[in-house]
Amino acid sequence: DAKTTQPTSMDCAEGRAANLPCNHSTISGNEYVYWYRQIHSQGPQYIIHGLKNNETNEMASLIITEDRKSSTLILPHATLRDTAVYYCIVRVAEAAGNKLTFGGGTRVLVKP
Amino acid sequence: GAVVSQHPSWVICKSGTSVKIECRSLDFQATTMFWYRQFPKQSLMLMATSNEGSKATYEQGVEKDKFLINHASLTLSTLTVTSAHPEDSSFYICSARAIQATNQPQHFGDGTRLSIL
């Protein structure tokens, strides 16, 4: 699976949009981009995923560049409960046994 | 939505004892489940892939005789930490994905915090 690069940490203001970048310059054509987050002392929570089109759900939006070498997770209105470590992972989707490999993630602190 | 349940959520035991952790998919069937370990201030590290009806696949450096995995049904996988020692103290997390949901996400349990005295 392609390696991803994320900033180590970032601060966001409550109520504002939070834009979390992720570089995956070696991504293959059949690899999806997944985003998870982990709130302190809990298991990771799925946020969103996509292949090449931008995606939106009730939690966030995912913007993938046309060359697919980078993406941005957007939390439209950050709340204090969005404070967590956010992981960007790329992986092939075909086989049910494909594992997720977690990098260091971005530690996001939402401030009042 | 898909729910993965882990039990217990927290356990403290004496050095030398064995501890079993259960991972259940509550509303879907999973032929494959994954076990991760997470030390403080570190990321999740995959320990093994649990396959229903067959042997687990362990990541390099993970002792299969130390961490016994059993995946006896499509909704249950167990991890047993045998003869646990203080260095095995960690946060253990499982995940699963529904059968034939190849591009759908894995869902994670809330983890088991294991403390060995």
Per residue of chain B (117 residues), what is the pLDDT tens digit? 668 999 999 999 999 999 999 999 998 888 889 999 999 989 999 999 988 888 899 999 999 999 999 988 899 999 999 999 999 999 999 999 877 666 678 899 999 999 999
Q: Is the pLDDT of residue A95 over 60?
A: no
Tell me what the mean pLDDT of segment A89-104 comes to. Answer: 76
What distance in Å separates the CA atoms of residue B15 and residue A106, rounded to the nearest whole number?
35
Q: Which residues of B touch A (CB under 8 A)?
A: 4, 6, 31-32, 34, 36, 43-46, 49, 51, 91, 93, 95, 97, 99-103, 105-111, 113
Helix (H, G, I), strand (E, B) or coil at A5: strand
The arrangement of strands across the sheet holding A55-56 comes to A18-23, A70-75, A61-64, A55-56
Higher pLDDT, A2 or A37: A37
Give the mean pLDDT of chain A.
Answer: 92
Q: How far apart are CA B13 and CA B78, in angstroms?
A: 18
H or E segment to which residue B11 belongs: strand B10-13
The shortest CB-CB distance from A99 to any of B6, B49, B102 is to B49
On the 0-12 / 13-18 / 19+ scale of CB atoms within 10 A, B7 is: middle
* Poorest-pLDDT segment among A47-61, A72-86, A87-101, B17-31: A87-101
Amino acid at B40: P
Q: pLDDT, tens digit, for every residue of A22-51?
A: 999 999 888 899 999 999 989 999 999 999
What pLDDT is recorded for position A23? 97
CA distance A42 to chain B (A): 5
* No. of helices (H) and no. of strands (E), chain B: 0, 11
Structure tokens at A41: 């002392």
Distance CA B79, CA B22 (A): 7
CB-based contact A109:A11 (threshold 8 Å): yes
Please tell me the predicted confidence (pLDDT) of residue A54. 95
The secondary structure of B89-101 as a DSSP string is: -EEEEEEE--TT-
